[in-house]
Structure 1
Amino acid sequence: MTILDALILSAVEGLTEFLPVSSTGHLILTSYLLKISQSAFVKSFEIIIQLGAILAVATLYMKKISDRKIFMLAMAGFIPTGAAGLFFYPYVKHLFENTLLTVIMLFLGGIIMILLELWQIPRKGKSVMQLQHIGIKKALLIGTIQTVSMVPGVSRAAATIIGGLFLGLNRKTATEYSFILAVPTILAASLLDIFKSNWVAQKQEIILLTAGFAGAYLTALLSIRILLAYLKRHTFLAFGVYRIILAVIFFLIIAG
């Protein structure tokens, strides 16, 4: 991996981690195009750039995360995912090598997102407008839905946002809860992977890791701000269409 590869991958991670488009799918496709094969270092690099993206959320949402009620809602949402991760991750981690499964999940996720938005647009009734009003029950249900994102291509952001919309959250609240729920979820998963890893960084690799962490942090800051601004006037329909188009392109690339 070169420094340019590291910057490209970190930008892809930062830009897609909090969008409902599957950052994992984008990293797999980008690595394929850059001819970067999986190795102990590459796996560790992906962990580090995820941590960079999470730091962006902590930077922008520290005040809200520090709120006792919101913190408890984040922990409630994390419980189902944390439990599922401990029990099922050893059995599903090999799925990350299945590129076709990633393509299928990208496609199906796009279909579900489009259908949900078409259902949401004419839907009437009071929606949850504030993070503090989500409630423990809804947080647990969203966290349960988030467990599906252990399958590559599903997208953690898509699962939580779709779950939030289905349970009556408005788009902004569903998205912001997805951001905040990402902190304990990705932090716990990253720490577990680091703990299980026997990899030791070399000097050149530390430079790549530092560049990747910084790149993911900066691009995630940008991505979060752009997404929130976009949702003030738009729905998630475009993301559903994008997932389908990406899945088709991805399939044509691997099939060729």
Structure 2
Amino acid sequence: MHEALEALFLGVVEGLTEFIPVSSTGHLLLIGHFIGFESAGNTFAVMVQLGAVLAVLSIYAGRLWNVMRAAPHDPEARRFVWTVLVAFAPAVVIGVMAHDIIKTVLFETPRLIAMMLILGGVVLLFVDRLAIAPKHDDAMRLPIWTALRIGVIQCLAMIPGVSRSGATIVGALALGCSKRAAAEFSFFLSMPTMLGAFTYDFWKNRDVLDAEQFGLIGLGFVAAFVSGLCVVRWLLGFVARRGYAAFGWWRIIVGTIAMIWLTFG
């Protein structure tokens, strides 16, 4: 029962933090470290993310279905599909090559995670204050080259604490996307990225997952889906009005508290 409650709590944290630029994986790993939550092969922190991604898919299902239906005869629809796939491609290459190092070294280094939270917060504050005139207001009409560069930047998030959404949003803002378009493209890119991470991690750890582990992942999955729904609906309006500074400060505060706890706790 104790582990089940921890899994539910961590699932809620995942859903609340997956799409805001604060590093859901960093939060899960740090909280898991401090409360003593363990999962075989560190699979929980990766596989539970699919719940949050399905929350995005459910919200954008209508638009995505229309795109897929139109793709065979509509060049604009095909172009959007290609931009997402091109942006996803770097994560496939780097993720497969670096998977073992990420899971056995980086995931096991809480001080690194805390440092990345602080550093990422500083970067987010800096980029949010830049007076960059947006060149791209529609996340579904980004140039292919812009999408590829966002995808390369996304790979930085394989270091836990960097934040996948944070990396893609900062990259998109720096490349001339509006704040809303940056958040939306991050949503779209999360779908193949997290599905790919889930599938590959499941395959790599299939021999160490048992019924208990699947049960905990399932609880976290459901909690992440429900909390993710709330965040996605709220986030776009928030960033359009207020930008990303609040998330930068949140990262710095959480990272600093974690570093102090790791040093003196």
Relative to the length of structure 2, the TM-score reads: 0.89
Q: Please tell me the root mean square deviation across aligned C-alpha atoms, in Å.
A: 1.7
Quick check: 1:161 aligned with 2:162? Answer: no
The match for 1:75 is 85
Quick check: 1:188 aligned with 2:182? Answer: no
Quick check: 1:32 aligned with 2:37? Answer: no
1:17-69 Cα distance to aligned partner (Å, 9 max, x none): 11100111111222123222x3317x333333211111111111123334233
| Preserved contact between residue 29 and residue 45 of structure 2 (Cα < 8 Å) | no
For structure 1, which segment, 9-18 or 87-96, has the greater mean C-alpha deviation from structure 2 after superposition?
A: 87-96
- Aligned positions of 1:185-224 closer than 5 A: 185-197=193-205, 198-202=207-211, 204-224=212-232
Between the two proteins, the alignment pairs up a number of residues equal to: 250
CA drift of 1:200 comes to 3.6
Distance of 1:200 and 1:2 partners within structure 2? 16
The match for 1:173 is 181
| Preserved contact between residue 116 and residue 162 of structure 2 (Cα < 8 Å) | yes
1:209-249 Cα distance to aligned partner (Å, 9 max, x none): 33221111000011111211212310101111111111110
| Preserved contact between residue 3 and residue 208 of structure 1 (Cα < 8 Å) | yes
Distance of 2:63 and 2:167 partners within structure 1? 22
Relative to the length of structure 1, the TM-score reads: 0.92
Matched AA of 1:132: M
1:133-176 Cα distance to aligned partner (Å, 9 max, x none): 21111000000000111111100000000000000000110001
Structure 2, unpaired ranges of 5+: 68-76
The match for 1:65 is 64
The match for 1:115 is 126
Distance of 2:244 and 2:146 partners within structure 1? 21
Quick check: 1:100 aligned with 2:99? Answer: no
Quick check: 1:254 aligned with 2:257? Answer: no
Distance of 1:91 and 1:10 partners within structure 2? 24
Quick check: 1:138 aligned with 2:146? Answer: yes
Matched position secondary structure for 1:80: helix
For structure 1, which segment, 189-198 or 43-52, has the greater mean C-alpha deviation from structure 2 after superposition?
A: 43-52
